[in-house]
Structure formats: C-alpha cells, structure tokens
Amino acid sequence: MKRIKPFRVPRGMENGQNHALAKKIQLDTSESYRGATLFRGDLSVHIKREGLLQVCRLLKIDPTLDFDYPVHITSVDYPNDPERFEVVYEFFSIKKKHRIRLKTRVPEDDCTIESVTSIWAGANFLEREVYDMMGIRFEGHPELKRILLPDDYDEGYPLRKNFPIQGRGWRDRFDFPV
Amino acid sequence: MAVETPETREDKKTLPLLKTEELLLNLGPQHPSTHGVLKVILTLEGEKVVKSEPVLGFLHRGVEKIAETITYNQFIPHTDRLDYVCAMYNNFAYVRAVEKFLNITIPERAEYLRTIVAEVQRIIGHLFWLGTQALDIGAMTVFFYTFREREALLDLFVELCGARLTTSWYRVGGVERDFTPKFIEGLYQFIETFHTKIEEYDTLLINNRIWLARTKDIAIISGEDAVNYGLSGSVLRGSGVDYDLRKVSPYGAYDKVEWTVPLGKKGDTYDRYWIRMEEMRESTKIIKQCLDQLPEEGGYKAYLPKVVAPDKERVFTDMESMIYQFKLYSDGFKVPEGDIYCGTEAHKGELGFYIVSQGGGKPYRLKIRAPSFIHMGAFDFMSKGYMIADVITIFGTYDIVMGECDR
C-alpha cells in the first residue's frame, strides 16, 4: 500500500505567503489553505479538495476579492505523486483587476471534486473538458459527459501521462514503416 | 418600452385545442453556416428554440497532447492551425506566454512590428467575420466587398512572410524577419483608403432593414451574465463591460499609442457588429501611429543566443553561432520549473496559454484557453427563446472557428 506523504508546496519559487490575496484567503478559510506561491507575478494558492466550494464562494462573494470572471479550468497529471491530479482554476476580477490561480489535488483512487458551476456558469464546459481529457469527475455538475471526444469513446483519458501519443485501441496495431 | 429577454419572449398563450409537442432537430455537422464542423441538437417548440446542445469535437486533433512531445519552438506552427483565419494572433499569444515564462524582454522595434501585424490580423479577422455574418443573414454583396480588402492585406502578408494564412511569423524573442520597404508602403496605402471602405460597408448595412431586423434585439446578454459565462472580446464589450487585455495589462506597443475601447449598451447582435466596425477603425489608428513611431534601432529580434536562432549568414561563417543553432534546433531552449498563464486579446476574445514546465525543453502541460470554446458554453443560454433562423446568427455573432474550439 502506498504511504501518503504530506502535501508540500513546490520549492524553488518565490514565496507568495505575504501576498495580500493569499493572506486574506488564509485568514478566512484557514482549514482549507495549504500555501501560496508566486512565480513571474502569478499568484497560485494551494487549497485542500474539501474546502474548494467554501473558498470559491468566498472569492465570488467577498467584495474585496470579487472574482467574477472565470478564466479557465484545467488539470495537470503528476503520475508519481501520491495525490495524482492537480485541478487548476484561474479567476479574474473585472472591477478590481487582479487575478488568482487556485490549485487543488485529487488522488487517483477517488477521482472526484466538487463542481463550481453553481458559482460561475462558464465553468460548465470547462469542467466537462477536464472530465473528458483527464477523467476527473465533478460532483454536482448538471451534465457531466464527454465534450470533445465521442460519447462512446472507451480508450481512456487522453491527457493522462500514461496515455500513448498515437492513441489506444485499434490505433495501436498500425504498422508504421520505419 | 420593456426590453425583450428570453424570459419575456416565452409565448405562454398556446391554443387549447391544438396538440403541440417538442421537435428534436439536428443542425449540422455539415451545414454551410456553422463555420467549421459543428453540430447542434435543437429542441424546438414550433419555430422557437427551447434548448440547444452543441456537440463539439469534430475537429479535435489533440493539440495539447502533441505540445507535450515537442519543443517550444516546434509548437509555433501548431498554433497557426488553431484559429486558421487569424494565425498571426495565435502566434503572438503563444510567443508572449513563452516569453513571460523565460522572463525576457524584446527590442522596442520588435514590439512595434508585432503590434502592427497583430492589428492587421485583427482587421482581417473582422473583415472575414463581417463578410460571413452578412452572408449567413442573406446579404451576399458584403462578402465580396470585405474579401476585396482582405485579399489586399493577405498579399501584404505574402510580402512579409511568404504565406497567406498559416504564417508562423512570430518567434520567441522577436519576429522571423523585418518589414520590407514595400510592405510599409503597401500598408500606408491601405490605411489611407481603408476608412472609405468601412463607410462603403456601412452604406450596405446600416440602413438595411433586413440586417437591422435580423441583428437588433437578437441574442441579448447582460454584462453580468456575460462575465459569469467567461465571455470575452467583442461579445463581452458589446454588453458594456470594459475588459480589454490591451488596456488592462498592456503588451506590445499598445500603451504607447492613443486609441479607445468601444463599448456597447444593450448586448445584442447589433451591438457586437457595431463594436467590430469600431474596432476596425481603432486598429487603423493604431497601425498608423505605430508606423509613424516605428523606431529604427533595436533590430527585429533580441540578442539571446540560447533562445533566439542566430542569423543564417552567421551560422555559415561563425563556429559559435553554428553550435547555438544546432543546440536550439535539436534540444530547444530550457525553461525553468513553474507555471504561468498569459492571456492575449485576440480578435475573437481572450486567447490564453497556461503552460506548466518541469524544466527542460518541452512543456509538461500546455492548456489553450480558446475563446470560441468558452463562447459555445453560453450558446444554450443565449439562443433560448429565439427563432431557429436566429441560431445561425448567434453562431456568427461569437465569430467562432471550430479549429480553435475543438483544438
């Protein structure tokens, strides 16, 4: 059985703990907060999976944060990490003109996370794309099904690192002249 | 007068004796006005749209997966194929993201060259949009007029880089080659007469009763909803939200020239059309000022041997340049560990690249924030309650290109 290592904020980046937005999130949702990094001026706040909806509501509703614009939602696969998938949310505030990136981790054996479609309507298609490409299930999503690939596609999730570039299934048996 | 919204348009007065039922209609994938290969499953009540479900992915090529296996420079031609009618802006957005990652600045002249070409591309994009949108609505003449000017600009692109559509002219650290005197002269000539051409389009459309009936009060979206759905570009500004990345986080030479961001009031298709017409006028202003201010010194690319390829003449005569050239094209340049997001205001909306690197010459993960894809997410909301004929106009008003939407 794999031993679960405690989560560590990646090293080698400038520390973002002192950023005003990170401090605010840490103060209001301290039990979900894991750390913050600042790289090339982009603030990333790492949070726990359980506290995602709580943090997102804070981001949307709090007048000093006021993140009303969903920029993108994506996911990154780290096959060697205990919590394999990283779901990345990027938000922008039209009025305050600041942006933030939320990062949360999802383990492979329980590949689910809560959906934020109830907070930002634009998250609908973005979350469907993440599900389609990486296989992360969003709980509470109104219509979670494949979006770019066909509905009956059963060869897995193509953006995972163990998915071969040429594809799976019948495409494996091509004989390429070398 | 009360504003018509999808809710108020809902016709509640059905005749009691008439039996009605909903009709399911497949629109596409092979439909001439779907701007690519797009299918929409429409649920209709009479001629009114009750629900619409876009079925995407007919042009899915796995660009994000391909990006993980090639170097950063090799990915530039792939960005051309995203939004294939506006390749220059895709190059620009991608190159800017990589430069933000590498934390490099480029010469001022290169910034001006980039801005000029990006604005030329914006005009081409809007001309293409205007022609096809009018064609969808039934006004065929506009198409011939806008494509006349588009051809003139594409000929300038041929002069600049040898290609019409898939240009790949931008490079990390600069551009591929400098302007020729013929290009500058041709662009000046175009700019001088272009405002009369825009007036010509106006004479075709602005008093056209069919055009007004098909665009006014169609697909209204409030500013709040548009923000909530993540819409960007002309669609967002048509609803009166002042969000233009060229102003919010200036890049290129946009902060050195004078121009304004046109904003709509109502958020209907007509406002979005008006915004695009105004943007063409603003682009003309930007190009004019940039050409006048174009600095002579600085060169068209930065001197960074580990990132930017050396000149070809030097490669053949200088040992060191040859080594740099070889290393650059075999391994690519090294990018530090980390992740960045960089958004650029393309003519369709915010085109962003989110890149994760674990060091080395290839991206670990590359995500493209395609405006067309996000606009399609609001399609169901915006088409509800309108006629089936308006569905075609609503595709058009986003200015979607499926190559970018499906990636």
Phi (first) and psi of residue A121, to 5 degrees: -65, -30
* Residue partners of A100: CB distance under 8 A and separation at least 6: A21, A43, A45, A59, A65, A67, A90, A91
Q: Smallest Cβ distance to B374: which of A97, A122, A133? A: A122
- The CATH code of the domain that includes B203 is 1.10.645.10
Q: What local confidence, expressed as pLDDT, does residue B45 receive?
A: 85
* H or E stretch covering B186: helix B181-205
Beta partners for residue B213, in sequence order: none
- DSSP H helix total and E strand total for chain A: 3, 8
Mean pLDDT across the stretch B323-327? 87
Q: Note whether residue A112 is domain-resident.
A: yes
Q: How many CA atoms lie within 13 A of B44 on its CB side?
A: 16
Coil, strand or helix at A35: strand
d(CA B148, CA B165): 16
What is the CA angle A147-A153-A156, rounded to 5?
Answer: 95
Distances (CA, A) of B386 to B156, B399, B407: 41, 19, 29
ipTM of predicted complex: 0.86
Domain containing residue A159: 14-165
> Is the pLDDT reported for residue A49 higher than 70?
yes
pLDDT of residue A88: 92
Supply the DSSP symbol for A30: T
pLDDT digits (tens, 9 = 90+) for B372-405: 899 988 888 888 888 888 888 888 888 888 888 8
Tell me whether residue B51 is in a domain: no
pLDDT of residue A169: 67
pLDDT digits (tens, 9 = 90+) for A57-72: 888 888 888 888 999 9
CA distance to A80, A121, B95, B315, per residue, from B270 (Å): 52, 24, 34, 54
The reply to whether residue B230 touches residue A40, judged by beta carbons under 8 angstroms, is no
Query: What pLDDT score was predicted for residue A7?
Result: 61
Within a domain: B182:
yes
Residue A87, pLDDT score: 92
Has residue A172 been placed in a domain?
A: no
Give how far B84 is from chain A: nearest CA, Å. 19
In this prediction, residue B31 carries a pLDDT of 67
Chain B residues with CB-CB distance to A under 8 A?
Answer: 56-57, 60, 62, 64-66, 69, 100-101, 103, 225, 227-231, 241-243, 248, 337-341, 343, 350, 352, 354, 356, 364-365, 367, 369, 373-374, 376-378, 381, 406-407
- Which residue in the block uniquely carries the two structure tokens 């996911």? A75
Q: Which amino acid is at A136?
A: I
Q: Which domain holds residue B179?
A: 63-406
CA distance B81 to B407: 9
Query: What is the predicted pLDDT for the residue at B95?
Result: 92
Q: Do A76 and B341 touch (CB under 8 A)?
A: no
Q: CA-CA distances (angstroms) from residue B380 to A89, A124, B43, B133, B375? A: 23, 11, 11, 20, 10
Q: Which tokens is B133 given?
A: 């949108």
Chain B residues in contact with A162 (beta carbon < 8 A): none
Summarize the confidence of residues B107-133 as an average pLDDT.
Answer: 90
Measure the CA angle with vertex B18, ends B17 and B22; round to 5°: 140
Least CB–CB distance from B338: residue in A13, A70, A129: A13
Query: What pLDDT sits at residue B30?
Result: 74
Q: State whether A149 and B60 contact (CB < 8 Å).
A: yes
Residue B353 is predicted with a pLDDT of 92
Q: What is the pLDDT of residue A5?
A: 58
Q: What would you report as the CA-atom Rg of chain B, rounded to the nearest whole angstrom?
A: 23
Judged against a pLDDT cut of 80, whether residue A172 lies above it is answered with no
pLDDT of B18 strictly over 80 = no
A99 pLDDT higher than 60? yes
Q: Which residue of B has its CA nearest to A126?
A: B374
For range B309-338, the mean pLDDT: 86
Six token digits for residue B86 = 């506006």
Q: How many helices (H) and strands (E) does chain B have?
A: 18, 8
Alpha-carbon gap, residue B122 to B75, rounded angstroms:
22
Residue B355: the pLDDT is 92
CATH code, A81: 3.30.460.80
Flag whether B20 is in a domain: no
Instruction: Look at chain B and report how many structural domains it folds into.
Output: 1
Contacts of B28 (CB under 8 A, 6+ apart): B34, B37, B38, B39, B40, B55
Could you give the 3-state DSSP secondary structure of residue A176?
coil
How many other C-beta atoms are found inside a 10 Å radius of the C-beta of residue B339? 26
Q: Is residue B7 part of a domain?
A: no
- Tokens for B406? 């499906």
Tokens of B226: 């548009």
CB count in 10 Å sphere of residue B8:
9
What confidence tens digit (pLDDT) does each residue in B42-82 have?
888 888 888 888 888 888 888 999 998 898 988 999 998 88
Contact A160, A76 (CB under 8 A): no
Residue A176 has pLDDT above 80, yes or no: no
Quick one: pLDDT at residue B299?
82
- State what percent of residues in chain B have pLDDT above 90: 14
Q: Is the pLDDT of residue A17 over 80?
A: no
Over residues A132-141, the mean pLDDT reads: 89
Q: In chain A, pLDDT over 90 holds for what percent of residues?
A: 8
- Check pLDDT > 70 for residue B311: yes
Name the token pair of B242.
Answer: 């002042």
The Cα of A30 is separated from the nearest Cα of chain B by a number of Å equal to 24
Assigned domain for B11 exists: no
Beta pairing class for A42-47 and B337-345: unpaired
Tokens (6 digits) for A152? 């009956």
Mean pLDDT of all residues in chain A?
Answer: 82
Contacts of B369 in chain A (CB under 8 A): 71-72
A177 within domain boundaries: no
Name the domain count of chain A: 1
Size of interface A-B (CB pairs under 8 A): 98
Q: Look at residue B7 in the predicted model and tell me its pLDDT.
A: 56
Nearest Cβ partner for A147 among B56, B69, B364: B56
Contact B354 A97 (CB under 8 A): no
Cis peptide, bond prior to residue B16, ω within 30 of zero: no
Q: Cα A169 to chain center, whole Å? A: 28
DSSP H or E run through B278: helix B269-293
pLDDT digit string, tens, across residues B127-175 = 999 988 888 888 888 889 998 889 999 999 998 888 888 888 898 888 8
Average pLDDT over residues B203-214: 86
Top pLDDT among B123 and A7 is at B123
Q: Which of A66-70, B5-9, B249-253, B270-274 has the lowest mean pLDDT?
A: B5-9
Q: How far apart are CA B161 and CA B157, in angstroms?
A: 6
Higher pLDDT, B29 or A5: B29
- Name the H helices within B103-180: 108-137, 141-161
Residue A101 lies in a domain: yes
User: Cβ contacts (< 8 Å) between A100 and chain B: which residues?
Assistant: none
**From CA B172, how far away is CA B176, in angstroms rounded?**
9
Is residue B39, in this structure, part of any structural domain at all?
no
Average pLDDT, chain B: 86
User: Is pLDDT above 60 for A78?
Assistant: yes
Contact B101, B355 (CB under 8 A): yes
User: Which of B229, B341, B407 lies closest to A90 in CB terms?
Assistant: B341
For A74, which of B57, B243, B367 is closest by C-beta distance?
Answer: B367
pLDDT band at residue A83 using 50, 70 and 90 as cut-offs: confident
DSSP string covering B216-253: TTSS---HHHHHHTT--THHHHHTT----HHHHS--TT
| Spatial distance between the Cα atoms of B273 and B246, rounded to a whole number of angstroms | 20
Residue B23 has pLDDT above 90, yes or no: no
Contact assignment for B338 to A69 by CB distance below 8 Å: no
| Residue A123 amino acid letter | A
Query: Among residues B358, B361, B364, B365, which one has the least CA distance to residue B327?
Result: B361
Which residue spans within chain A are E strands per DSSP? 14-15, 33-39, 42-47, 69-77, 85-92, 99-106, 112-114, 137-139
pLDDT at A6: 58
Taking CA–CA distances from B356, the nearest residue in chain A reads A76
Query: Of all residues in chain B, what percent carry a pLDDT higher than 70?
Result: 94
pLDDT, mean of residues B362-369:
90
pLDDT band at B11 (very low <50, low <70, confident <90, very high): low
**B52 or A155, higher pLDDT:** B52
Report residue B94's pLDDT band, with 50, 70 and 90 as the boundaries: very high
- The pLDDT assigned to B6 comes to 54
* Inter-chain CB proximity B352 and A71 less than 8 Å: yes
Instruction: Inspect the interface and report whether the beta carbons of B337 and A122 lie closer than 8 Å.
Output: no
Strand partners, B39: B55
Chain A residues within 8 A of B231 when measuring between CB atoms? 122
- DSSP 8-state code for residue B10: -
Considering only the beta carbons, identify the residue of A12, A71, A148 that sits closest to B337.
A12
Q: What is the pLDDT of residue B173?
A: 86
CA B17 to chain centre: 50
Cβ-contact B358, B384 below 8 angstroms? no
